[in-house]
Amino acid sequence: MTAHGDQGASWQRSEEPAAAAPPPLDEEAERLIAAYLAAIAAERRRSSLTLRNYRHDLVDYARFVQAAGRSLLAVDRPFFRSYLAELAARGIARGSVARKVSTIHTFYRWLVAEGVLNADPLHGLRPPKRERRLPRVLEPEQAAALVTAPAADDVYGLRDRAILELLYATGMRVAELVALDLAAVDFAEGRILVRGKGRKERIVLAGRPALQALRRYLEQGRPALAKGRNRERGAPLFLNRDGGRLSARAVQIIVKRAGLLAGIEAHPHLLRHSFATHLLDGGADLRIVQELLGHSSAETTQIYTHVTEARQRRAYTDAFFNIWRPRKRSDKT
């Protein structure tokens, strides 16, 4: 059976031509990008995921420059606009293009600050405006169905239920959740210490259902996963099947699987969007929601007020239609 399966896999591989590997970066581009990433990693305390995204954006741009027979140190705005046209032709979303422009522009400003360049070649260039799309949110009943989808009848179900409850109850990011240690949770006060972007710390609040789910996991699920280790207060809160810290990718799979059980297309940030929107629906102050989400600017949180307004407008329209819609005439007289 195994041999037959291997033959099928071999046949499939022979039918599908392998994608050509991208050309390696020239020595100058590789050296400049590596030096820049090392500098911001030391100075700004960026996460490994953020640095990986920066490198991806810079390498993509450097390959475009290299394919045009130019150097990163010998570009101008007209040439950079040709790169933007290339991104548009590839169908890259405007939000992603804006992020790439920001990354590349910051890279060039660093080169000027380091004396590598005399002037910023992109000075005065404006990135494309981001599309203003309202985030999708769950109705409260859908959120309840999602977080209770895993059957809490084994160690994994207990863990997954606690994860979903915490994501919805606190609005924390996946990276923040998987970075939690045992010492971060204060059951007496219903508070959790979270380390967010830039390693900034904040306190988030958790309600009774989330704390109850978390306590059940700690008492009945985590000990079996820990396998006699990771008991100290600095140990990871959420563990994988091998007793190590759970990964962000694993949490994404857990949320997606719970969504399938609940009949909802779900991802972790959907719970964060729903948390913020439901708080504002309930009358919470925007500044409080901003602090709970860990946003450095209220403008970032402002998008959720538009979601709330849209939901209120839809509820009003539905209610108005239900009141004033014409009734069908009865055939009976």
Write down the residue that tokens 């997954």 correspond to: 160
Q: Which of 159, 173, 222, 273 is catalytic?
A: 173
Q: Which of 245, 256, 295, 311 is catalytic?
A: 295
Contacts (Cβ under 8 Å, ≥6 apart) of 173: 196, 268, 269, 272, 294
Write down the residue that tokens 């949320």 correspond to: 255
Q: Which of 55, 94, 267, 269 is catalytic?
A: 269
Write down the residue that tokens 């050309």 correspond to: 23
- Find the radius of gyration of the CA atoms of the chain: 25
Q: Which of 304, 306, 313, 329 is catalytic?
A: 304
Contacts (Cβ under 8 Å, ≥6 apart) of 254: 150, 160, 163, 164
Does residue 197 carry a catalytic annotation?
yes
DSSP code of 184? G
Say how far apart CA 26 and CA 110 lie, in whole Å: 20
Q: Which of 55, 94, 195, 197 is catalytic?
A: 197
Does residue 109 carry a catalytic annotation?
no
Does residue 61 carry a catalytic annotation?
no
Helix count and strand count (H, E) for the chain? 14, 3
Write down the residue that tokens 């045009």 correspond to: 68
Q: Which residues are catalytic, by number?
A: 173, 197, 269, 272, 295, 304
